């Protein structure tokens, strides 16, 4: 297994109250697959994906990614792991406002070991003609395309997407999903995507349903629906 999560637990303590956010989560993903984590708001999806991506830590349990035991890494090793191997895409793009599209991508490629070519990646997301624009001069969908280019330019082992279409309308969402599917094919990138939209699960190889910090269902799809045929 490329991604293996076992018995993952996480609690947050605020004042006197302890909230158990992950109660022993297990999941798997093979190399080159698309996985979807489906669940309502507050069920622990982001916490799970942040631990997999090394931006949060679990209390117990194990995460391994392509043979790297993430849960055993020290802080500086975790930073390297994140920088070298993980691409992140968030709901609200998180682009740097005073840098152009091209510069937003070069910020990442400049610190990557074997980055892809900026223009090649911009072309793949259909944004090469907007390379010299600033984020504020782009629509939401275009900004998300740039954030995908920024995540992909480092040629990550694993692309983690936290509600990537959460702020977009239906037509634009479908285009972004189409693009993620295309990147999965073209670059062979393994993708793990969070959503609360059931329709999106049709494009995944594996679907994990989360309720209150637990996986309540795992579905393995025999046929994958092309993103352009997804409706909601
Ligand atoms: N840093 C934090 N401190 C305290 N509670 C948190 C923190 N992060 C998340 N939580 C709580 O953990 C639960 C799960 O959050 P999250 O993983 O963001 O859920 P989801 O992504 O499914 O909406 C929520 O109840 C949230 O309030
Ligand atoms: Mg979330």
CATH code, 59: 3.40.50.300
Q: Note whether residue 136 is domain-resident.
A: no
The pLDDT-based confidence of 222 (bands split at 50, 70, 90) is: very high
Q: What is the DSSP string of 36-92?
A: EEE--TTSSHHHHHHHHTTSS--SEEEEEETTEEGGG--HHHHHHHHHHHEEEE-TT
Q: Note whether residue 220 is domain-resident.
A: yes
Pairing of strands 206-211, 214-220: antiparallel
Give pLDDT, residue 105: 98
Q: Note whether residue 65 is domain-resident.
A: yes
| Cβ partners under 8 Å of residue 174, min gap 6 | 227, 228, 230
Ligand 1, atom 8, residue with closest C-alpha: 47
Question: Which residues form the domain of 67?
Answer: 3-94+155-229
Each residue of 117-139: pLDDT tens digit? Answer: 999 999 999 999 999 999 999 99
Give pLDDT, residue 123: 95
The rounded Å distance from CA 47 to ligand 2 centre is 7
Q: Note whether residue 134 is domain-resident.
A: no
For 184, the 3-state DSSP assignment is helix
Q: Note whether residue 128 is domain-resident.
A: no
Name the residue of 10, 11, 12 to mutate for ligand 1: max ligand atoms within 8 A of Cβ.
12
Q: Note whether residue 90 is domain-resident.
A: yes
Q: Note whether residue 119 is domain-resident.
A: no
* CA 43 to ligand 1: nearest atom: 22
- Give the number of the ligand closest to the Cα of residue 166: 2
Q: How many domains does the chain have?
A: 1
What's this model's pTM, rounded to 2 decimal places? 0.96
């Amino acid at each position: 297994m490329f991604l293996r999560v076992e018995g993952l637990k996480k609690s947050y303590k605020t004042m006197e109250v302890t909230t158990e956010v992950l109660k022993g989560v297990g999941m798997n993903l093979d190399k080159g697959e698309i996985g979807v984590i489906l669940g309502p708001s507050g069920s622990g999806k982001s916490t799970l994906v942040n631990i997999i991506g090394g931006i949060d830590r679990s209390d117990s349990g194990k995460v391994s990614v392509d043979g790297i035991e993430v849960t055993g890494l020290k802080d500086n090793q975790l930073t390297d792991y994140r920088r070298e191997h993980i691409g992140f895409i968030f709901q609200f793009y998180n682009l740097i406002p005073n840098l152009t599209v091209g510069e937003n991508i070069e910020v990442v490629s400049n610190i990557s070991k074997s980055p892809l070519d900026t223009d090649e990646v911009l072309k793949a997301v259909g944004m090469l003609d907007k390379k010299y624009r600033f984020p504020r001069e782009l629509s939401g969908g275009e900004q998300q395309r740039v954030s995908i280019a920024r995540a992909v330019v480092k040629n990550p082992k694993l692309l983690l997407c936290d509600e990537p279409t959460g702020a977009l309308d239906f037509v634009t969402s479908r285009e972004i999903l189409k693009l993620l599917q295309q990147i999965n094919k073209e670059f062979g990138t393994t993708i793990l995507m969070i959503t609360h939209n059931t329709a999106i699960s049709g494009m995944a190889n594996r679907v994990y349903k989360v309720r209150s910090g637990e996986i309540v269902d795992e579905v393995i799809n025999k046929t994958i629906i092309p993103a352009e045929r997804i409706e909601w």
